[in-house]
């Protein structure tokens, strides 16, 4: 087979979730499949020197294809879009990965321009794609709710998690990051949350539940929130004061994966009460690092967490606070969740993701 994959999302070194998915898919396909030919289609401007393809030269069946004039990937057996994008070229069978339908379920999380463009892509994909890969059963359900697509044209392939980056630190390794935490203004103990600061992440609900936790005197540490500011969440500081949390909440902004691994490992617990996720990478990252997790029972969060976390109604701050209190006060429960999380994380790998994707390619060209 000759398979072209759109690489727009991996042209910059600082990658979003889709960029990480694309990179790990390519790297895992390179390890798995030495027989087929892979074309790395890279739409970019002619003099844009900042955007460049990662070095996959170790895989001899990978060929770079920069596309400076929007001419498309050329004639291939399959063209794979790792997320909705322009696919006006008709020379190949089309495979598309859908990560979420947030623009439908939570339109307030996007600008009107983004919604319009995504809807244009999605309608064309629904009509044109030969196979659509969904990253969770929840995303697949949403896809069939909003679009008329034959069930046989959709499948679920779970994302992997980066076990080489996220893992439990030894006791000796846990001593090293303490100075880094102090540099971020963090004093242990702390509760951790990770995610772009935007309405669907339910940061207001998290702050309300943390305030309840402090009011019950169930916890005397900090809340650490890792994530960049997103859409419509510039006023979050105004929520903190009335809740009496000034000085108790640390916003780290962007940090490195190494710093994030340390934060997961040293946290008392991880809380992720998002209203909607297409997959929920931070849940698995926390599991890999051996921290007990509280997350939503809605969207894909409960699906990905399985029985390895306490799941809650994200609309109910009292329920979130109650779950956090349980973990903080019950050491047996905490240890049980930590072990269950480590076991659950082992069920998700990039190798399995690549095997499933390769099977889709083979099915499409039959």
Cα 87 from Cα 94, distance rounded (Å): 8
Which residues lie across from 222 on neighbouring strands? 190
Taking only the tens place, the pLDDT of each residue in 109-168 is: 788 999 999 999 999 999 999 999 999 999 999 999 999 999 999 999 999 999 999 999
CATH fold for domain 2-160+349-364: Rossmann fold (3.40.50)
What would the mean pLDDT of 82-88 be, rounded to a whole number?
89
* Nearest-10 crossing angle of helices 203-215, 317-329: 50
Element (DSSP H or E) covering residue 126 = helix 112-128
Identify the CATH class of 171-345: alpha beta
Domain boundaries along the sequence of the chain: 2-160+349-364, 171-345
Cβ atoms of 106 and 276 closer than 8 Å: yes
Compute the distance between CA of residue 139 and CA of residue 147 in angstroms, rounded to an integer. 12
8-49 pLDDT, tens digit each: 999 988 787 899 999 999 999 999 999 999 999 999 888 787
Q: Do 2-160+349-364 and 171-345 fold alike per CATH?
A: yes
Distance CA 341, CA 349 (A): 14
Rounded mean pLDDT, 174-203: 85
Contact residues for 241 (Cβ-Cβ < 8 A; gap 6+): none
Backbone angles phi, psi at 127, to 5 degrees: -85, -30
Summarize pLDDT for 284-335 with one digit per residue, the tens.
999 999 999 999 999 999 999 999 999 999 999 999 999 999 999 999 999 9
How many Cα atoms sit within 13 Å of 337 on the Cβ side?
Answer: 26
**What pTM was computed for the model?**
0.92
Long-range contacts made by residues 172-175, C-beta under 8 angstroms, separation at least 24?
174/265, 174/266
What are the tokens at 70?
Answer: 């929007």
What's the mean pLDDT when you consider all of the chain?
A: 92
Closest CA to 228 of 258, 204, 205, 195: 195
Burial of 163 (0-12, 13-18, 19+ CB in 10 A): middle
Half-sphere exposure of 278 (CA within 13 A, CB side): 24
């Amino acid at each position: 087979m000759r398979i072209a994959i759109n690489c727009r999302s991996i042209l910059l070194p600082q990658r979003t979730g889709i960029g990480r998915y694309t990179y790990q898919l390519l790297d895992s396909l390179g390890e798995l499949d030495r027989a087929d030919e892979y074309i790395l289609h890279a739409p970019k401007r002619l003099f844009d020197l900042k955007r460049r393809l990662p070095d996959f030269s170790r895989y001899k069946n990978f060929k770079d294809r920069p596309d400076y004039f929007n001419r498309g990937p050329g004639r291939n057996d399959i063209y794979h879009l790792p997320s909705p994008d322009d696919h006006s070229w008709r020379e190949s069978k089309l495979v598309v990965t859908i990560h979420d339908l947030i623009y439908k379920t939570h339109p307030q999380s996007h600008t009107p321009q983004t919604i319009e463009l995504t809807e244009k892509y999605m309608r064309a994909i629904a009509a044109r794609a030969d196979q659509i890969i969904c990253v969770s059963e929840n995303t697949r359900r949403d896809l069939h709710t909003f679009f008329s697509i034959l069930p046989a044209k959709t499948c679920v392939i779970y994302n992997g998690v980066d076990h080489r980056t996220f893992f439990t630190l030894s006791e000796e390794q846990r001593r090293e990051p303490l100075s880094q935490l102090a540099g971020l203004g963090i004093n242990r103990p702390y509760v951790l949350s990770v995610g772009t600061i935007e309405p669907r992440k339910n940061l207001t609900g998290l702050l309300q539940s943390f305030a309840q936790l402090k009011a019950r005197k169930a916890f005397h540490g900090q809340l650490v929130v890792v994530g960049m500011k997103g859409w419509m969440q510039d006023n979050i500081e105004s929520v903190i004061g009335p809740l009496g949390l000034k000085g108790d909440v640390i916003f780290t902004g962007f940090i490195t994966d190494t710093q994030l691994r340390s934060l997961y490992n040293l946290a008392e617990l991880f809380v992720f009460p998002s209203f909607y996720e297409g997959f929920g990478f931070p849940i698995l990252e926390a599991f890999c690092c051996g921290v007990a997790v509280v997350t939503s029972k809605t969207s894909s969060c409960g699906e990905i967490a399985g029985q390895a976390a306490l799941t809650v109604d994200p609309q109910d701050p009292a329920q979130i606070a109650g779950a956090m209190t349980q973990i903080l006060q019950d050491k047996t429960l905490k240890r049980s969740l930590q072990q269950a999380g480590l076991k659950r994380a082992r069920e998700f790998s990039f190798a399995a993701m690549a095997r499933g994707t390769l099977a889709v390619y083979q099915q499409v060209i039959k």
